[in-house]
């Protein structure tokens, strides 16, 4: 007999019938062909094939036999490939399954080769130690590597007690390696350093060990050497996880407390919540409540990700799984929330800081009649990405649309791509902006996310303004130090730290205005360093800055969708670049078009697109000159009238072109 933590719940393992709580009887079954008596898949090592009636008994895994860990690394250092190999090693997925990066399930993830959403997989591992075998339940969380998705990483680490810090054997420690290390370090996680890709010809594990020692004070003897591509050294990873990472610290005899890690919307099941059970246990048909919203729900389904959803009927202390509770919208499932049994009193778990949106952009349908389709697509997509903020807005140039907030430029780009791929929408996006704070002469302070919301009342003037900054970490080869310092100076950066990791690589820390890095800074950095630079940033405080609103006018009429806020010192150059680009993309009309960049009533740049001219004198072969003058004057009057009532067509390419102007 095995006993659960909640009182009077006997589990009869022999008959496979379980009683948990009052009037709850069911089998703990995961319908999967080929499970052995230890609860392992038949292609796992040391497994003996049994009949299809065998089940996985989660009660065999108290907290001391559970390990929760994540994989963190810089972009393209091999996180997802290592996750694949570990899933194969434990028999969770079949070898040669034909799908690389199995946990990367979005089309945009497979096309770009990046991880956008953190994914969880439960593995069962038979650990042999000193001629005895013990079964362990391992929860693996594969996290994104790009800075824009560090919010996903922080949520994932909250459910873990340890992390595999993966570093490329050829590239060594890079900027996001540093950022992810400190995320894990601040969360008090046990860190296991793993040097991956040791099979590469340019691999230098000894140099990378020295970098880990100098940067993070990690003992070189603790480093694991692996190659996810060939499988070399991977047999040491899971034993290290079991030996070094502590079990979950929860109390099995306490009231239920669950941490809500993530949620997404499924068309058939509704909202599916990913949860970590910190204390107590959860059963199907239980009544649970949310501390954040105060609403109560009935648990309709509960189970683990193996790696697909597998219903188990309950989750115990320390286990990570999913819950289906009949929530109608992901807005009810607030990330970082504490879920508990209804009519019980519990202390809330420490939650997350709300997502801080760093970039704002307007989204409009390319065809104004498609607004409802775009609205529906954005609503469905935000069900699977709760870190996007959405508010309706209207533009005189583009009609009805949405003002969306994103965690970064890549996050915005991925969101646009998913709108087009998954929902078939065609959109126009405005120039990305960052939030500013303005103080006006009447004493009011306003945060401005949309330049169109900037006050145009001449009686109210701006007396002070503040812009957001970031703390940027840059790691580069030593020979590019001078070029990078020049680039950061041009972008109004303030150097905070400068040191050498080793004889070949330099570490730099700058305070930079967010506006200066949000569009093309990373591309410029990669260009001047021949692609060897790595870059990461975290948001910092607002600092006083002299910024102004730059308007674009076509034939004297402002185009609100093209307005932007820039630093006063750069306004002249940015205005000149904007009008030059627009001149290339706006088609000629039958009337003259003037393109102007203006600050208030002062025009700082201008270009003119000449009118297409019809030769009205072609039929005049001779005769008096006054006849020709009369025809030209008539044409001139007609062009004035067209200019007065005509509208300028702005192609979508024009909006894309001005994205690169900073």
Question: Which residues contribute to the annotated binding site for GTP?
Answer: 73-80, 142-146, 196-199
Q: What is the 3-state secondary structure (H, E, C) of 141-206?
A: EECCCCHHHHHHHHHHHCCCCEEEEEEECCCCCCHHHHHHHHHHHHCCCEEEEEEECCCCCCCCHH
Task: For residue 532, give the nearest of 470, 469, 472, 483 by alpha carbon.
Answer: 483
Q: What is the 3-state secondary structure (H, E, C) of 406-464?
A: ECCHHHHHHHHHHHHHHHCCCEEECCCECCEEEEECCCCEEEECCHHHCCCCCCCCEEE
**d(Cα 120, Cα 141) in Å, to the nearest integer?**
4
**Which residues are part of a known binding site?**
73-80, 142-146, 196-199
Cis peptide before 307 (omega within 30 of 0): yes
The DSSP output letter for 378 is H
The residue count for the chain: 662
Q: What are phi and psi of 313, to 5 degrees?
A: 95, -30
Task: For residue 186, give the nearest of 210, 139, 153 by alpha carbon.
Answer: 153
Task: For residue 401, give the nearest of 444, 447, 366, 350 by alpha carbon.
Answer: 366
HSE at residue 519, side-chain half, CA atoms within 13 A, is 17
**d(Cα 445, Cα 454) in Å, to the nearest integer?**
12
Dihedral of CA atoms 41, 44, 50, 56 in degrees, nearest 10, equals: -40
Taking CA 559 as the corner, what is the angle to CA 556 and CA 563, rounded to the nearest 5 degrees? 115
**d(Cα 231, Cα 96) in Å, to the nearest integer?**
13
CA dist list (Å): 92 to 143, 184, 290, 310, 384? 19, 26, 32, 12, 25
Q: Is 526 exposed, middle or buried (0-12, 13-18, 19+ CB in 10 A)?
A: middle
Task: For residue 492, give the nearest of 468, 475, 476 by alpha carbon.
Answer: 468
């Amino acid at each position: 007999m095995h006993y659960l933590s909640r009182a009077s719940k006997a589990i009869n393992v022999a008959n496979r019938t379980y009683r948990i709580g009052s009037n709850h009887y069911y089998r703990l079954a995961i319908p999967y062909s080929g499970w052995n008596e230890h609860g392992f898949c038949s292609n796992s090592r040391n497994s003996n094939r049994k009949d299809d009636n065998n089940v996985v008994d989660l009660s065999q895994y108290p907290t001391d036999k559970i390990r929760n860990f994540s994989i963190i690394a810089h972009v393209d250092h091999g996180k997802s490939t290592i996750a694949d190999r570990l899933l194969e090693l434990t028999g969770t997925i079949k070898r040669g399954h034909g799908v690389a990066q199995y946990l990367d399930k979005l089309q945009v993830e497979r096309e770009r080769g990046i991880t956008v959403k953190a994914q969880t997989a439960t593995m069962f591992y038979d650990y042999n130690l000193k001629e005895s075998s013990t079964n362990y339940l391992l929860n693996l969380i594969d996290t994104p590597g790009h800075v824009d998705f560090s919010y996903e990483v922080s949520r994932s680490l909250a459910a873990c007690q340890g992390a595999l810090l993966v570093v490329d054997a050829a590239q060594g420690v890079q900027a996001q390696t540093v950022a992810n290390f400190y995320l894990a370090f601040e969360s008090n996680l046990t860190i296991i350093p793993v040097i991956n890709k040791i099979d590469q010809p340019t691999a230098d594990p000894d140099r990378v060990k020295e970098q880990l020692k100098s940067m993070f004070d990690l003992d070189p003897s603790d480093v694991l050497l692996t190659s996810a591509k060939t499988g070399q050294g991977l047999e040491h990873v899971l034993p290290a996880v079991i030996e070094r990472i502590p079990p979950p610290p929860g109390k099995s005899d306490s009231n239920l407390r669950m941490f809500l890690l993530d949620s997404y919307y499924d068309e058939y099941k509704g909202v599916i919540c990913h949860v970590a059970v910190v204390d107590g246990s959860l059963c199907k048909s239980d009544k649970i409540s949310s501390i954040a919203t105060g609403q109560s729900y009935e648990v309709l389904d509960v189970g683990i990700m193996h790696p697909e959803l597998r219903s188990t009927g309950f989750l115990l202390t320390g286990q990570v799984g999913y819950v289906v509770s009949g929530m109608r919208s992901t807005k009810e499932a607030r990330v970082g929330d504490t879920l508990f049994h209804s009519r019980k009193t519990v202390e809330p778990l420490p939650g997350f800081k709300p997502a801080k949106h760093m970039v704002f952009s307007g989204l409009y349908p390319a065809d104004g009649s498609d607004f409802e389709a775009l609205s529906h697509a954005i609503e469905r997509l935000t069900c699977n990405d709760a870190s996007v903020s959405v508010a309706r807005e209207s533009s005189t140039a583009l009609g009805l649309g949405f003002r969306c907030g994103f965690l970064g430029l890549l996050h915005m780009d991925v969101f646009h791509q998913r709108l087009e791929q998954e929902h078939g929408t065609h959109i126009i996006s405005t120039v990305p902006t960052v939030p500013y704070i303005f103080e006006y002469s009447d004493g009011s302070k306003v945060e401005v996310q949309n330049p169109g919301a900037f006050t145009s009342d001449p009686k109210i003037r701006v007396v002070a303004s503040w812009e957001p900054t970031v703390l940027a970490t840059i790691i580069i080869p030593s020979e590019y130090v001078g070029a990078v310092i020049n680039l950061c100076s041009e972008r109004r950066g303030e150097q905070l730290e400068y040191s050498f990791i080793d004889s070949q690589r330099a570490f730099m820390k700058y305070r930079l205005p967010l506006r200066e890095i949000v569009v093309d800074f990373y591309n410029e950095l990669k260009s001047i360093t021949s692609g060897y630079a790595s870059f990461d940033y975290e948001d910092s405080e607002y600092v006083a800055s002299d910024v102004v609103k730059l308007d674009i006018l076509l034939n004297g009429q402002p185009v609100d969708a093209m307005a932007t806020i820039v630093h006063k010192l750069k306004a002249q150059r940015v205005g000149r670049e904007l009008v030059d680009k627009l001149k290339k993309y706006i088609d000629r009309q039958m009337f003259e078009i003037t393109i102007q960049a203006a600050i208030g009533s002062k025009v700082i740049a201008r270009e003119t697109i000449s009118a297409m001219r019809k030769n009205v004198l072609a039929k005049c072969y001779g005769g008096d000159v006054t006849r020709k003058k009369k025809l030209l004057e008539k044409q001139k009057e007609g062009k004035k009238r067209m200019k007065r009532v005509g509208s300028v067509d702005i192609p979508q390419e024009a909006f894309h072109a001005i994205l690169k102007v900073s």
